[in-house]
Structure 1
Amino acid sequence: MAKQEKEKYQSPHLKRFYYPLDRAVEKPFNWKQMTRLLLYVKPYAKTLLPGAMLAMLITTLVRLAVPILIGQLVIDVAIKDENVTLLTYLIIIISVMYVLSYLGNHFRIKWVNILGQKVIHDLRRQLFSHVQRLSHNFFDKRSAGSILVRILNDVNSLQELFTNGIINLLMDIVMLVGIIVILFTLSPQLALAVLIILPLMFYISTKLRRNIRRSWQNVRIQKSRLNSHLNESMQGIRITQSFSQESENTEYFDGVNTDNFETERLAMKKSAYFGPFVEMSNAIGTVILISFGAHLILNNTIEIGDFVSFAFYLGMFWEPISRLGQIYNQLLVAMASSERIFEFLDEQPNVEEKANAREFTDMKGHIEFDHVEFSYDDDRVALHEISLEMKVGQTVALVGHTGSGKSTIANLISRFYDPTKGTVKIDGNDLRDMKLDSLRNNISVVLQDTFIFSGSIIENIRFGRPTATDEEVKEAAKVVGAHDFILRLADGYETEVEERGNILSAGERQLLSFARALLANPRILILDEATASIDTETEVKIQKALKKLLHGRTAIMIAHRLSTIREADNIIVLEHGRILEQGNHDELMKHRGEYYGLVKSQFEMLEEL
């Protein structure tokens, strides 16, 4: 690589794609982990696996039997004695055996491919289901791209092992053992001479093992970084184009792409060492066979037919040896990928559900924080000894500057995190004693940056309650003022929206999120800057809809736009994780404290505009 290329490749800017939790780890080959991986075959051990193994055995036995028939019967008996009848029978028998071998191969390939696809399907499903259950803390430390790589690429890299590797490994081991036994039966002297190269080959392959495995670990990591950058680039394409940073972004991509290219090239280069070495071993073995075998024939030590059979078996011997090298590479790739997959599967949620956790049967929505302290990490305390109460049906507004702890309080209510100290209770129940699903089924969250899924409008609203009828969906949309704009779309409620709802305006997406929250019929509603992306006209509609949406529910409103919270029953003003003051709008304005200052500053800004 040229000096300039190397400098780009090693650009310090690329450090933003290097995640501390995503690195190669030096470990010995873990047979326990490989056993764990093979356990995914267990559900099919009584169906697909026996048929595949039977087909494999038929193919292997035919291949082992044919050289004996050719050498000892066709050459040493039928041809030597000029017995045409026997020769004809032998040709028919060998032909039938090859047909059996073909059928065995056909069904072996068919069944192992079905087996492999089912195993990959099960593994990816388990991994996805597990990741969905992990705490927010897990996603805070990892990029979306690196998680996608493990669910897609790392699982895909196991496909070759499960579709071909396992059965081929068994077949090649049976073949090798059978060939070695037959070779020593035919001529121990010639077998020893020919196989003398094996110890050297095993020594070299053992030396390569650690290096090759580390290389494939690095390949998986670089693919993760490449996908992370691609995901980030696609999500931020509008920002990139707005600031005319296409060239800079391309330079970043060139560095990550070159990194990926170099690591994969190096891994494949190291893996490719084994094939030529096997070919060289084959050549040496053939030279020994011809020279020493000719000597034994001339000394009447072995028959010509045995020599021919020996030549057949020797040619067959190096084939499984070569395939074992490929399977070994598959094992190394699978080990690198399985380490990363099992790292996720072994990850436990920071927010754990107790074995004897109870369900909310009839949640009212009374929320209490009892001396709650929370830290995202050791260096940053987000909440300091917070004690507060949110009564049933009350609308509580959380106000404060960025980083004051407003969203943290909302996250603790939904139990996305557990408090470092203190207790969060709903209806007098410590949330750590309750089942997560029963808690979150009673809570709806509307965020500033609402997420719209690919699919129809009606499907997106129904995401709040999948069992809702079409009429219930439409009624929810009418209540929040979304019905009219939906009807103006090309296909109304059946209009297909792209990922993140790009065909909709920010206000329209927010209205859909309100309809989704209303349809879920929660006891607790959290609005996290929910009206920040909405224009003034739409906000007027939302304010009317909110009265119906909030009726009878405990609501937590987080807002910088203070005009949206004037009607709140209780306004809590936060600063650096502490409560400065609380009360309704009139009380706080009379107090002339921090809230009064915030309102006054916003009013002055509007006056200037």
Structure 2
Amino acid sequence: MAGFSEWIVPAPKHTYMEFYYLSDQEYQHKRALWPFLKRIFSCSLQHRKTFWLMVASSCIIAAVDAIFPLLWLSYIDDWITPAIEQYQAGGEQLALIPELIRYGGLFLGLFFVQALAVAGFIFYAGRLGEFVIFDLREAMLRKLQYLSHSFYDRTSIGHLSIRLTSDVHKVTNVIAFGFADLIFGIIMILASLVAMFWYNWRLASIVLLSIPVLLLLAIRVRVFLLGYARKARRAYSQMTANLTENLNGLLVNKTTVQEKAATGRFGKVSRQLRNASYRAAVYHSLYNPIVVVTGSLAAALVVYMGGHMALNQHTGVTIGMLAAFFGYARLIFEPIFDITSYYARAQDSLSAGERIFSLIDEPITIKDVAGVKPFGPLKGEIRFEQVHFHYVPGKPILQHFNLHIPAGQSVAIVGATGSGKTTISKLICRFYEPQQGRILIDGQDYRSRSLGSFRSQLGIILQTPHLFSGSLRDNLRYGRLDATDEEIRQALTLIGAEAFAHRLDEEVGEEGSNFSLGERQLISFARCMLKDPRILIMDEATSSVDALAEADIQRGTEKLVSGRTAIIIAHRLSTIRHCDRILLIEAGRIAEDGSHEELLALGGQYARLYAGQARG
């Protein structure tokens, strides 16, 4: 199968982020339903065999349904009516048993064929839905692996989880049975109309003219109901948010004696949900009666006109034909209900589909250009040349920023929150790229070399280390997948964590819950040691651990940075005294630069910060 990105059709004109800032009225007008359905159809066609088997099953079901009225026509006109006429004329009664067996056998045979087709239809429709859902999830996860850091800065993990789970399930309603019902409904309507026009174009015209009226009415009623359903869902979201807030703040409510107020706030949003859901249920209960009555009027008109024609022997309309037309009218009106239901489901799933496709369409801003060459083994020299960078246009973080870090030097970066120290580390990691200026690695602009070859020689240790579900061994091997147990033990010993060598088979638990924060940080050190990077970035690696764990981590840090270029962002200044060089950043510029002893002797801001922390 072709790659997912090759067959997803062009994105709708309006993206999800644009919808986010639209008013409710603008949002309704700009929702691109048909482009969404077009993309879903394109996704489905990637599994052509399953798709066409589903369509074939639909055709068989429709064909059998179309044959039933014809069978009734033959049963009534060719056997029942002559039998009655002969009996009334005083003739011999026709043999009943053989004809009953023949027609009964035909009906049973058709029911059996239809049952097999229905089973196939359900199987292939469900299979198609699962295949497409798998493709969508895989495409989203693949895109998430390569999206730039800026995307994650503006998007919460919770929202991404919703896109990969509940949003995908909502789209399933459109892809699987909703999409299949649409195809079946169209085939059924076409087959019935062909049969009706074949026998009597006048009666068929009555049914045909009623279809657009019924469709328009059903869709308008569905759209009306959808508005109330959305209000109910918004109320549900507000209730869920309030419930989550209440559960997270239970201790605060108790200590501030606000239990009654918290219960009152939840009761208010809960009542709003109850009222919105009640109104939606009331209006929804009116849908079927309205549509059924409208369809019944059309069917009644067929019976009335057909009855007149049947009484007039010159029209060619018989009792059997009238019964067949009534059956065909039912076969047409029922799929219309299914089609309008599909339209409502598609509208309901549209926002979920937009979120899914907006993620798939999200541009990758940090990527290799065509024909890029890889880095060779790095020495670790880093140079910033006249770098300008901003997250938000008009609010610069770095301007005319210059910095040179020789290979093998350990450099600590300190400064107040928002001064730009973390931005520098993100630029070095190429999570972001400068808007102006250059960043050179070993004298080469890192944008001229492949991203993978650079990051494979880069080690990053964050403030809160992340461990994946699985064994300790599996987590350590994230540093190097082919590492042997002996190499893992050596890495643990080098950073002073040899106690973990006997726990390699131990499960780390969800997000490393079976280990303390300090232990998880030591594990991340060992993982980085296995990778043996030429450039090491440590971002507040000890800021969240206690003094005892900090001492262990400090010993591990000194061994880890030895012999490689290291950039250490720190809040606790006592942890960076061993660094070759310390930079104090203020408002995106280097305010002080020197060793720990030199900066203390300078008596500037660094010396004051260090003295303040030393006093406790």
TM-score normalised over the length of structure 1: 0.86
Q: Quick one: structure 1 residues 219 and 421, their matched pair in 2 at CA, closer, same or farther if it must change by over 3 Å?
A: farther
Q: Which deviates further from its counterpart, 502-511 or 217-226?
A: 217-226
Q: Which deviates further from its counterpart, 419-428 or 401-410?
A: 419-428
Aligned to 1:154: 167
1:544 aligned to 2:555?
yes
Q: Which deviates further from its counterpart, 408-417 or 299-308?
A: 299-308
Q: Which amino acid aligns with 1:371?
A: Q
RMSD: 3.3
Aligned to 2:180: 167
Aligned to 2:466: 451
CA contact (8 A) 1:570 1:583 kept: yes
Aligned to 1:74: 75
CA contact (8 A) 1:275 1:325 kept: no
CA contact (8 A) 2:33 2:346 kept: no
Following superposition, the deviation at residue 234 of structure 1 comes to 8.1
Give the Cα–Cα distance (whole angstroms) in 2 for the partners of residues 483 and 442 of structure 1.
25
CA contact (8 A) 1:149 1:227 kept: no
Aligned to 2:611: 600
Aligned to 1:60: 62
- Match among 47, 50, 57 for residue 48 of structure 1: 50
Give the Cα–Cα distance (whole angstroms) in 2 for the partners of residues 570 and 257 of structure 1.
58
CA contact (8 A) 2:411 2:582 kept: yes
Give the Cα–Cα distance (whole angstroms) in 1 for the partners of residues 238 and 433 of structure 2.
30
Give the Cα–Cα distance (whole angstroms) in 1 for the partners of residues 37 and 593 of structure 2.
58
CA contact (8 A) 1:407 1:528 kept: yes
Following superposition, the deviation at residue 123 of structure 1 comes to 0.6
Following superposition, the deviation at residue 97 of structure 1 comes to 2.0
User: Residues 298-348 of structure 1: CA distance to partner in whole angstroms, max 9, x if unpaired?
Assistant: 333421111221222222222111111111122222333222211222221
Aligned to 2:408: 393
CA contact (8 A) 1:588 1:595 kept: yes
Q: Quick one: structure 1 residues 221 and 413, their matched pair in 2 at CA, closer, same or farther if it must change by over 3 Å?
A: farther
Q: Which deviates further from its counterpart, 252-261 or 413-422?
A: 252-261
Q: Which amino acid aligns with 2:541?
A: A
Give the Cα–Cα distance (whole angstroms) in 1 for the partners of residues 373 and 269 of structure 2.
48
Q: Which amino acid aligns with 1:553?
A: R
Aligned to 1:31: 34
SS at match of 1:331: helix
Q: Which amino acid aligns with 2:61?
A: T
- Match among 93, 107, 128 for residue 115 of structure 1: 128
Following superposition, the deviation at residue 283 of structure 1 comes to 2.4
Q: Which amino acid aligns with 1:356?
A: G
Q: Which amino acid aligns with 1:526?
A: I
CA contact (8 A) 1:476 1:518 kept: yes
SS at match of 2:339: helix
Q: Which deviates further from its counterpart, 431-440 or 359-368?
A: 431-440
CA contact (8 A) 2:492 2:500 kept: no
Following superposition, the deviation at residue 285 of structure 1 comes to 2.8
Give the Cα–Cα distance (whole angstroms) in 2 for the partners of residues 337 and 259 of structure 1.
24
Alignment of 1:73-472 (within 5 A): 73-79=74-80, 80-81=82-83, 82=94, 84=96, 85-193=98-206, 196-205=209-218, 207=220, 274-300=287-313, 301=315, 302-378=317-393, 380-472=395-487
Aligned to 2:8: none
SS at match of 2:541: coil
Q: Quick one: structure 1 residues 452 and 247, their matched pair in 2 at CA, closer, same or farther if it must change by over 3 Å?
A: farther
Alignment of 1:7-22 (within 5 A): none
1:584 aligned to 2:595?
yes
Give the Cα–Cα distance (whole angstroms) in 1 for the partners of residues 46 and 131 of structure 2.
10
User: Residues 533-591 of structure 1: CA distance to partner in whole angstroms, max 9, x if unpaired?
Assistant: 33333333333322321122110111121121111111111112111120112222222
Q: Which amino acid aligns with 1:350?
A: T
Q: Which amino acid aligns with 2:75?
A: V
Q: Which amino acid aligns with 1:409?
A: I
Q: Which amino acid aligns with 1:119?
A: V
Give the Cα–Cα distance (whole angstroms) in 2 for the partners of residues 310 and 200 of structure 1.
19
Give the Cα–Cα distance (whole angstroms) in 1 for the partners of residues 208 and 579 of structure 2.
87
SS at match of 2:460: strand
CA contact (8 A) 1:399 1:573 kept: yes
SS at match of 1:496: coil
Give the Cα–Cα distance (whole angstroms) in 2 for the partners of residues 289 and 142 of structure 1.
58
Q: Quick one: structure 1 residues 322 and 430, their matched pair in 2 at CA, closer, same or farther if it must change by over 3 Å?
A: same
Q: Which amino acid aligns with 1:166?
A: F
Aligned residues: 581
Q: Which amino acid aligns with 2:174?
A: L
Q: Quick one: structure 1 residues 547 and 232, their matched pair in 2 at CA, closer, same or farther if it must change by over 3 Å?
A: farther
SS at match of 2:585: strand
Structure 2: tracts of 5 or more residues without a match? 1-18, 84-93
CA contact (8 A) 1:220 1:337 kept: no
CA contact (8 A) 2:40 2:175 kept: no
CA contact (8 A) 1:370 1:424 kept: yes
Q: Quick one: structure 1 residues 480 and 117, their matched pair in 2 at CA, closer, same or farther if it must change by over 3 Å?
A: same
Q: Quick one: structure 1 residues 583 and 254, their matched pair in 2 at CA, closer, same or farther if it must change by over 3 Å?
A: farther
User: Residues 3-39 of structure 1: CA distance to partner in whole angstroms, max 9, x if unpaired?
Assistant: xxxxxxxxxxxxxxxx956986331544333222211
Q: Which amino acid aligns with 1:404?
A: S
Identity of aligned residues (%): 33
Give the Cα–Cα distance (whole angstroms) in 1 for the partners of residues 248 and 525 of structure 2.
24
Give the Cα–Cα distance (whole angstroms) in 2 for the partners of residues 315 and 386 of structure 1.
76
Give the Cα–Cα distance (whole angstroms) in 1 for the partners of residues 193 and 433 of structure 2.
62
CA contact (8 A) 2:600 2:606 kept: yes
Aligned to 2:576: 565
CA contact (8 A) 1:447 1:530 kept: yes
Q: Which deviates further from its counterpart, 361-370 or 197-206?
A: 197-206
Following superposition, the deviation at residue 166 of structure 1 comes to 2.5
Aligned to 1:16: none
Q: Quick one: structure 1 residues 511 and 419, their matched pair in 2 at CA, closer, same or farther if it must change by over 3 Å?
A: same
Structure 1: tracts of 5 or more residues without a match? 1-18
Q: Which amino acid aligns with 1:91?
A: G
Aligned to 1:526: 537
Give the Cα–Cα distance (whole angstroms) in 1 for the partners of residues 23 and 488 of structure 2.
47
TM-score normalised over the length of structure 2: 0.85
Q: Quick one: structure 1 residues 390 and 253, their matched pair in 2 at CA, closer, same or farther if it must change by over 3 Å?
A: farther
CA contact (8 A) 2:168 2:352 kept: yes
Following superposition, the deviation at residue 139 of structure 1 comes to 2.1
Q: Which amino acid aligns with 1:60?
A: A
Q: Which amino acid aligns with 1:299?
A: N
Q: Quick one: structure 1 residues 399 and 245, their matched pair in 2 at CA, closer, same or farther if it must change by over 3 Å?
A: farther
Q: Which amino acid aligns with 2:568?
A: M
Give the Cα–Cα distance (whole angstroms) in 1 for the partners of residues 333 and 209 of structure 2.
13
